[in-house]
Homo-oligomer: A and B are copies of this chain.
């Protein structure tokens, strides 16, 4: 695979972080006595669950935008760099939200900004290429 190895690595690292978040939910079940299929019952468990769920909610936005950005700009390093910013934002989101729901803002903002750059960057470039087919 000669295409976009750094973007592929960043995608898998993002998924590993997400997997770690889901592990914390599983551990929280025994720690706080929240038995499946319940997903409520203890505030610490509920925050761990929402950390995973919100990240899941953003994964399609992030992953599809990341790859369409990388493919349309043909820019492996820059795309992977923006993807890394997303991962850093998600780590801050995890550490902040774990302490208190109110502390989830900064990390959330960083990953949302990175996603917006990728999404609108890809959308703009693809529309530009449709309008300028010879360029």
Contact = CB atoms under 8 A, between A and B. Distances in A.
User: Chain A contact residues: over half helix, strand or loop, or mixed?
Assistant: helix
Each complex incorporates copies of this chain amounting to 3
Contacts of A57: 22, 52, 56
A18 to B, nearest CB: 7
Contacts of A8: 68, 71-72, 122, 126
A123 B49 CA distance: 27
A135 interface: no
Interface string A36-57: 1111000100110110100011
Given A8-B71, A15-B119, A63-B64, 15 more contacts: A1-B72, A6-B130, A8-B72, A9-B130, A11-B68, A18-B60, A18-B61, A22-B57, A37-B43, A37-B47, A37-B49, A38-B46, A39-B50, A56-B56, A59-B60
